[in-house]
Structure 1
Amino acid sequence: MRIELDRPRCEGHGLCEEAAPELMHLDDDGELVIDVPDVEGADLAAANAAVRICPVAALRLAS
């Protein structure tokens, strides 16, 4: 699975970063950076949590 970001929709709340810090982070400008876009196994569970917690639905998982 691949983490996809709708950048214009992202507001930089950082909840996804809290849910999956090993996969993504907010840079110094508050922009989300996806460090590991392709996920599987345990990372997939963290990615799902990040997608679910985003308050503006800026993240999704695609195959």
Structure 2
Amino acid sequence: MRIQADREACIGAGNCVLAAEDVFDQDDDAVVLVLQEEPSADQVGEVRNAVAQCPSGALKLVDD
């Protein structure tokens, strides 16, 4: 599983960072940064939650 982030669609709400701070961060403009493109098995629940909470739909999980 891989995380894709559409930085153009990101509105900087920060929900992803709150849900999975080890996987997501924000740059100086509050745009999402993916710290781990392939989350570990113990992070999958948090990542799914972050994707679901993204108000702009900028995050997506892709099965490899």
TM-score, scaled to structure 2: 0.90
Tell me whether 1:5 sits opposite 2:5 in the alignment: yes
Aligned to 1:45: 45
Superposed displacement of residue 62, structure 1:
0.1
Segments of structure 2 that go 5 or more residues without pairing to the other structure are none
Superposed displacement of residue 40, structure 1:
3.3
Q: For 2:45 and 2:3, how far apart are their aligned partners in 1?
A: 12
CA RMSD of aligned residues (A): 0.9
What number of residue pairs does the alignment pair up?
A: 63
Q: For 1:29 and 1:58, how far apart are their aligned partners in 2?
A: 15
Superposed displacement of residue 14, structure 1:
0.3
Segments of structure 1 that go 5 or more residues without pairing to the other structure are none
Could you tell which deviates more after superposition, 24-33 or 8-17?
A: 24-33
Q: For 1:17 and 1:40, how far apart are their aligned partners in 2?
A: 16
Q: For 1:32 and 1:5, how far apart are their aligned partners in 2?
A: 7
Q: For 1:25 and 1:35, how far apart are their aligned partners in 2?
A: 7
* Structure 1 segments of 4+ aligned residues over 6 angstroms from their partners: none
